[in-house]
Amino acid sequence: MLLAAIILGIIYKKMRKWEVGVSISKKQALLPIGLGVLSTILAFAVTLAIGYGLTVEGYSLNDIQDPFLKAFVSAFLRAGLTEEFAKLLMILWAICILKPKNVYEYALIGGATGFGFTLLEEMVYGESIMTLFRLTDVAMHMSMGIIMGKYLGLGKYNRENGLLYKSSYVIALAVPVLIHTIYDALTVYNPAIAVEGMDDESMAFWIIMGLIIILCAFVFQIVIIKGMKREAPRLSEMLLTR
């Protein structure tokens, strides 16, 4: 957890400095992180509720025969949908409280919420043998939050200026959910791990797919964070009514 906090703290501090004009206050900087921690708890509760509901209705993920479909559905219900939706609720809450003045601050709120989510998640998983593996995706929640916040901000900006805005709101949730689901389906729920008795050829295929998605995720995080720096002047100038 400490290493993750240091890495994300450095990134977040840099992102705050990239804003053009008056930077956000300490309250604006810290509140979304705290709400991000709460979103981890909310996501866990929702995941348990979904699991209980499926059990009551007589459904089981073990009934799915196709290994990738099973991995995809598991990742969607246990992580992609629940975790991103929980972060979305907390981002919206932070927006209501803080009333950001431009689109860049929306993206900052999203990134900070993802930062907070990661902190609590690392407390649970960070001491496992997967610690080194997790360092390759340490900024994934922050990156998803940045996408979410940015497109929520763009949606509001476009709506206020008479432009098309509905697609921005759809992207704000749909893209993080899809990326998160695919990533977890090929890592945490990878068929090579979940399926017993798999032949060597199939296992090698899924292991390779897992390594590819890890590499893609690593590059993805860099692209999103670098994009924040590049777009900071433009997004900072996209002012919003409060």
Query: How far, in Å, are 70, 80, 98, 147 from residue 172 at the CA level?
Result: 26, 13, 19, 6
**How much of the chain exceeds pLDDT 70, in percent?**
95
Distance CA 219, CA 68 (A): 23
Q: What is the pLDDT of residues 67-106, one digit of tens each?
A: 999 999 999 999 999 999 999 999 999 999 999 999 999 9
225: helix, coil or strand? helix
- At 23, the pLDDT band (50, 70, 90 cuts) reads confident
Q: What is the pLDDT of residues 187-200, one digit of tens each?
A: 999 999 877 778 88
Distance CA 139, CA 111 (A): 9
102: helix, coil or strand? strand
For residue 65, pLDDT beyond 70: yes
For residue 129, pLDDT beyond 80: no
Angle, vertex CA 38, rays to CA 34 and CA 39, nearest 5? 115
Query: Within 13 Å of residue 123, how many CA atoms lie on the same side as its CB?
Result: 8
* Average pLDDT rounded to a whole number, residues 199-220: 95
Distance CA 206, CA 148 (A): 29
pLDDT on residue 103: 98
